Amino acid sequence: MSALSVYKYAVKFAWNDMTSRKVRAGLTILGIAVGIAALVALMSITLGMRTQIENMLSETLGLAVTLSGKTGVEVPVGLIPAIMKIHGVVNAYPVIEQTALVGSALQPAILEGIELKNLKDAFPNMELKEGRLFYEDEEGVLITPNLADRLGVDIGDTIEISPRSTGATSKRFRVVGIIDIGLSFGEMGFIVMPLSQAQELYNRPGYASSIVIKVASRDLIHPLAEALKKMFPEARIIEPEQIARQINRIMDVVNATLLSIGSISLIVAALSVMNTIAMVVRERVREIGILKAIGAQRLHILAIFLSEAFLLSFIGGLVGIAIGLAGAHIVTSGLIKFMGMQLTPVIDPVVLLEGLIIASAVGVVAGFQPAWKGANIRPIEALRYE
């Protein structure tokens, strides 16, 4: 009990020392705070990105496996009856998904050819803004507002679409509706048209670029993919998990890089704590002498200076977390504004706690060397110090 009160005094000593040197304490705290802020901001942003990407994947792929060819429009639609017979498959439909060039300026856009009845399934969040949907065999298309803006067209106008494919020529289509495609990555602009029209445009009747195969539950996805690989060894089979895994791997690398940048700023912060504690020890040498004269042990003196290192870095950690969170919001809102990306930082309490622990640990480790030096000064030298 009383041993504890000695350490309470150590903390009191440290706290009073800090408050009597506000500027120095403030700067040291800021040093730690910047490092922690960088870490917290980076972690929150990358976590946000990861979540965003996962959302994107589930938006587009959901409970689906896609089967596609190497390039272009080369999957025969005639495969569908055979695919429907595979265990667990509830639906399968063809789509043509290609990049195309639009208008006289040859603007790039993503072209989607799809049967009207599958439109809702492929783009569950799609919303019709103006006009109407296309009829099944009409030479009519739906486009996203950004593309309409870029091309300067409205409902009723026609646009020229070049298929970017050998053996196919460009063709004019009428814009019948403006849609919000409901995808997070809609910046490039989408053109949606009947599948038959797309097949005609690419001069590939009876073919699609991929077949979207829906299953009843998540655990059926992988067996289905395996079965498809056996049936169609030539084809590319894409499972959502697989993509997610790949993206996660990339994100891990990004994360590690950012973390190492953050750690460099923490090393700088550690040096500043070290310097501050060394200064405190130098100022307090005579008091170390007095403490030793009244019988304080090395450990007691160590406790005083480590308390100060801890307090500085712990407060630095708290401030850093606050700055980091604010910074993450500023950066992401900047990204939204200037790059059209949609991103919300994700605040993970574990990351915040880690930040606080890292800050405190960095401070205490950095403070140890000067504190140890102070604790080992011989009493008489300490008393005589000027």
Partner 1 sequence: MSRAAIELINVEKVYEEGTPAEVHALRGIDLVVNKGEFIAIMGPSGSGKTTLLNIIGTMDKPTRGRVIIDGEDVTDYSEARLAHIRREKIGFVFQFFNLISTLTALENVTLPMLLTGKYSEKEAREKALDLLTLVRLRERANHKPRELSGGEQQRVAIARALANHPTFVLMDEPTGSLDTVTGSRIMSLCRVLNEKFGQTFIVVTHNPGVAKAAKKIYHIRDGKLYKTPPEDLMKYTWTPSVGEKNEIMRVYIRILRQELNSLKRRLTSGQISDAEYRMIKQRILQDLELIRRGIEK
CB neighbours of residue 130 within 10 Å? 14
Rounded least distance, CB 296 to partner 1, Å: 6
121: Cα within 13 Å, side-chain hemisphere:
18
Nearer CB in complex with partner 1: 341/383? 383
Rounded to the nearest whole angstrom, what is the least distance from the CB of residue 300 to partner 1 in the complex?
A: 7
Token pair belonging to 240: 């959502």
**Residue type for position 146:** N
In the complex, what is the shortest distance from the CB of residue 12 to partner 1, in angstroms, rounded to a whole number? 7
Q: Which helix (H) or strand (E) segment is 16 a member of?
A: helix 2-20
Binding window for partner 1 (CB under 8 A); candidates: 37-45, 193-201, 229-237, 291-299: 291-299
Least distance between partner 1 and beta carbon 246 (Å): 57
Residue 375: CB atoms within 10 A of its CB come to 22
Which of 6, 247, 341, 346 is close enough to bind partner 1 by CB under 8 A?
A: 6
User: Which listed residue (81, 152, 156, 295) binds partner 1 by CB under 8 A?
Assistant: 295
Name 264's Cβ contacts closer than 8 Å, sequence gap at least 6.
Answer: none
For partner 1 (CB under 8 A), the number of binding residues is 29
Contact of 36 with 259, CB cutoff 8 Å: no
CA pair distance 250, 27, nearest whole angstrom: 36
**Nearest CB to partner 1, comparing residues 145 and 379:** 379
Per DSSP bridges, beta strands 140-143 and 171-180 are: parallel
Instruction: Pick out residues in 261-290 that bind partner 1 (CB under 8 A).
Output: 286-287, 289-290
**One symbol per residue from 51 to 90: x for binding partner 1 (CB under 8 A), - otherwise; what is it?**
----------------------------------------
Q: Are 18 and 311 in contact (CB under 8 A)?
A: yes
How near is the Cβ of 295 to partner 1 at its closest, in Å? 2
Give the whole-angstrom CA distance, residue 162 versus residue 362.
59
Q: Which residue number, 58 or 376, has a Cβ lying nearer to partner 1?
A: 376
- Give min distance, CB of 22 to partner 1, in A: 14
Closest approach, Cβ 304 to partner 1, in A, equals: 9
Beta strands 107-114; 190-194: pairing state: parallel
Residue 72 DSSP SS3? coil
Taking the C-alpha atoms of residue 205 and residue 189, their distance in angstroms, rounded to an integer, is 25
23 binds partner 1 (CB under 8 A): no
Strands 140-143, 107-114: parallel, antiparallel or unpaired by DSSP? unpaired
Q: In this chain, which of 132, 218, 249, 298 binds partner 1, going by CB under 8 A? A: 298
> Binding pattern to partner 1, positions 316-355, x when CB under 8 A?
----------------------------------------
> Residue 129 belongs to what H/E stretch?
strand 127-131
Residue closer to partner 1, measured from CB, 264 or 299: 299
How far, in Å, CA of 108 to CA of 103, rounded? 9
Least Å distance between CB 289 and partner 1? Answer: 8
- The stretch among 9-17, 134-142, 269-277, 331-339 that binds partner 1 (CB under 8 A) is 9-17
The neighbour count for residue 323, using CB atoms within 10 Å, is 18
Shortest distance, CB of residue 288 to partner 1, whole angstroms? 10
Interacting residue ranges for partner 1, rule: CB under 8 A: 1-3, 5-6, 8-9, 12-13, 16-17, 20, 286-287, 289-298, 300, 378-380, 383
